Amino acid sequence: MKTTIKQLYRVLFAGIAILLCWSGAVSAASGDAQKAHRLYQDNCGSCHGADHGGYLAPALNAEALKGRSATALRTVIMVGSFDTLMPPFYGRLTDDDIRLLGEHIQKTPKLPNPQWRIEDMKASLKVYVKDESKLPAEPAYPIDSMDDLIGVAARGKYGRGNGSEAIFIDSKSHRQVGKVPTVTAAHIIDFNPVNPRWAYVKTDTAEIYKVDLYSMQAVRSIKTGFNGPGMGVSRDGRYIMAGSFVPHVAVILDADTLEPLKTFQLEGVDPDGNMVSSDSGMVIGTPFADIFAIALENAGQVWIVDLQEGFPVTKIKNVGRHLHDAFLTHGGRKLMVASYDDSIVAAIDLEQRKLIKKLPAGCVPHVGGGAAVVVDGRTLGFGTNFGTCDKTVVSVWDLDKMELVRQVPVSGGTESPAAHANAPYVAVDIISKDRRARTIQLIDKKTLEVAKTLDVGGHAYFPEYSADGRYLYVSAGYNGDEVVVYDSTSLKKVASIPMESPAGIFSRGRVKYMTRGLSPDAMQE
């Protein structure tokens, strides 16, 4: 009997020991998984997608990385990837963490679209300046006109942290007049068309900051989703609309308080008849009416939201396959929407609320902010293209007749055009990943031929003219760490403004001329 009890104890102890070991192992494993998840969200998620589905950078999930060598993945994490935004994590993360991350991305499936409801947005609202009436009544720095301000999204090499800022420059003196830290990389900067003191900065991780340009500080912020660049401001400056890739939601905010007023589930029947949930493409306000237009990327629809009680939606279907960005024509009455997969730009009449024409574009059109300029009485629109098929062109359309005028051969893929009524050239950024990425090409407005190629250095992109059209600003990108300024007629370099990994450049003049290249008069037409 004694032995039996002893044996029983022994069995019991052994059992407990096994249980302890087992739960220890389980918690170690789940601890690792949690740590890997956190590492991913803190270092990779803002570019590669919080859902592992990709965003600015490729998807990192079990499916996408199937068959990839673990060593090669670790090497890329360690040393970064040349001529991309991918920075080196050697010395920033430990070898063990890099190994853990490599394993994590190879075994994690693309996560389901996470929820981010209006309550979550409300809870994320942060107030940095409680009493806005105490803010200075005028800019705290010398500047002739607030339209001379140019905002630059300085991403910071790691897309987050102390290097990530929205930087503001006086485009007459080319001096930096302010910088606003954004925690994660700034992506889009919009300006309030009515009150020149407010700007809105949207980050890679879908926070929107309301920025006081007079004192150069953020006064409020709200998280509108997990990522997606879409943001627009209404013509009366009262509303902001923002759309996300993750989750498939758009929201209208009060531009003053940033409080969310209504959310929209982005889904619909695509041109091939499938009901799909959809990323948000461009979101745009127009001086033409109290509306927002939003492109549903995957559903191929453009929705028009009236800024009145209940925010009713008119849906325009079958616009194109995989819509992305867009620009307004003169008067802001028509919207030119890029459709990636069928290589067209679709013209939408915002008054009649219908698709009026599909115009040929190059392959994978990406119009950026677009450009439209009056040449010899015709209003010409310019469209850039990501893709590099057999020919790389910039498409030029007559925006009154809605027809293709010419496809101008350029040296590579392009993603953003800039024009100005007072500047002789339309600038496009060549983004093909070799020496060409250093360059900007300039198309003569009259001859519609490339007149000159500027070697900016780095990875040159996002050209933008100053509000008076005298200067051309270009980001030298992640490999250049400067914004370079040229005289827009002589094309001589006049200034360099150092900053970390500059990307999008946004002139406050845009609120005046609406689409880059149009004169302010075009808004009254």
Partner 1 sequence: MKLSTDALLIGIAVLLAGNVQAASPYAGKTKAAAVCAQCHGMRMPATEAPFPFLGGRDVQYLRLALRQYRDKTRLSPIMNNIAGSLSDRDIDDITAYYSGLKP
- Rounded to a whole number of angstroms, the minimum distance from the CB of residue 163 to partner 1 is 4
Q: Decide if residue 45 touches partner 1 (CB under 8 A).
A: no
Whether the Cβ atoms of residue 373 and residue 421 lie closer than 8 Å to each other = yes
| Closest distance of CB 113 from partner 1, Å | 29
Site string for partner 1, 327-366 (x = CB under 8 A): ----------------------------------------
With CB under 8 A, what is the number of residues at the site for partner 1? Answer: 24
Among 215, 217, 453, 479, binds partner 1 (CB under 8 A): 479
Q: In this complex, which beta carbon is closest to partner 1, that of residue 181 or of residue 271?
A: 181
| Cβ closest to partner 1, residue 431 vs residue 448 | 431
Please select the residue that binds partner 1; options are 29, 79, 123, 313, rule is CB under 8 A: 79
Measured from the CB atom, the residue of 99 and 110 that comes closer to partner 1 is: 99
CB of 250 to partner 1, least distance (A): 32
Q: Report the nearest approach of partner 1 to the CB of residue 45 (Å).
A: 16
Q: End-to-end distance of the chain based on CA atoms, in angstroms?
A: 104
CA distances in angstroms from 34 to 30, 39, 169, listed in the order given: 6, 9, 42
Binding to partner 1 (CB under 8 A): which residues in 151-190?
Answer: 156-158, 160-163
Using the contact rule CB under 8 A, the part of the chain among 44-52, 88-96, 228-236, 426-434 near partner 1 is 88-96
CA distances from 444 to 355, 426, 449 (A): 31, 7, 6
Tell which one of 204, 279, 429, 482 touches partner 1 (CB under 8 A). 482
Pick between residue 164 and residue 441 the one whose CB is nearest to partner 1: 164
What span, in angstroms and rounded, lies between the C-alpha atoms of 181 and 209? 10
Q: Residue 183 or residue 253: which is nearer to partner 1 going by CB? A: 183
Residue type at 202 in one-letter notation: K
Rounded distance between C-alpha atoms, residue 328 and residue 522, angstroms: 11
Token reading at 145 = 């006109």
CB contact at 8 A, 281 and 299: no
In the stretch 185-224, what mask flags binding to partner 1 with x, by CB under 8 A? ----------------------------------------
Cβ–Cβ < 8 Å for 40, 101 = yes
Ramachandran sector of residue 316 (left: φ over 0; alpha: ψ -120 to 50; beta: rest): beta
Q: What is the DSSP string of 332-377?
A: G-EEEEEETTTTEEEEEETTTTEEEEEEE-SSSB--TT-EEEEETT
Using the rule CB under 8 A, is 82 a contact of partner 1?
yes
Which CB, 114 or 161, lies closer to partner 1? 161
- Helix (H) or strand (E) run with residue 5 in it: helix 2-43
At its nearest, how many Å lie between partner 1 and the CB of residue 229? 22
State the Cα–Cα distance between residues 166 and 181, nearest whole angstrom: 6
Closer CB to partner 1, 51 or 429, in the complex: 429
Residue from 207, 212, 270, 481 touching partner 1 (CB under 8 A): that is 481
Q: Give min distance, CB of 141 to partner 1, in A.
A: 23
Do the beta carbons of residue 408 and residue 450 sit within 8 Å?
yes
Smallest gap from residue 156 Cβ to partner 1 (A): 6
C-alpha 68/C-alpha 106 separation (Å) is 8
Q: Which is nearer to partner 1, 91 or 273 (CB)?
A: 91
Among 9, 13, 22, 90, binds partner 1 (CB under 8 A): 90
Q: Nearest to residue 323, comparing CAs of 286, 373, 274, 358?
A: 358
- Largest CA-CA distance found in the chain, in angstroms, rounded: 110
Contact indicator for 375, 445 with CB cutoff of 8 Å: yes
Query: Which of the residues 406 through 465 are near partner 1 (CB under 8 A)?
Result: 457-458
- For the bound state, the minimum distance from the C-beta of residue 459 to partner 1, rounded and expressed in Å, comes to 10
Nearer to partner 1, 166 or 467 (CB): 166
Distances (CA, A) of 211 to 18, 232, 258, 277, 283: 58, 15, 11, 32, 20
Residue 87 is a binding residue for partner 1 (CB under 8 A): yes
44 versus 361: smaller Cβ distance to partner 1: 44
Shorter beta-carbon distance to partner 1: residue 84 or 489: 84
Check if the beta carbon of residue 486 is closer than 8 Å to that of residue 443: no
Which span sits near partner 1 by CB under 8 A: 82-90, 112-120, 127-135, 247-255? 82-90
Which residues, including other chains, have CB under 8 Å from residue 36's CB and lie 6 or more apart? Answer: 100, 101, 103, 104
Structural tokens at position 346: 């679709």
Q: What CA–CA distances, in Å, run from 30 to 25, 468, 506?
A: 9, 58, 45
With CB under 8 A as the contact rule, which of the stretches 77-85, 123-131, 283-291, 505-513 interacts with partner 1?
A: 77-85
Min dist. Cβ of residue 439 to partner 1 (A): 14
Number of C-alpha atoms within 13 angstroms, CB side, residue 508? 25
Choose between 79 and 389: whose C-beta lies nearer to partner 1: 79
Residues that bind partner 1 (CB under 8 A): 79-80, 82, 87-88, 90-92, 156-158, 160-163, 457-458, 479-482, 498, 500-501
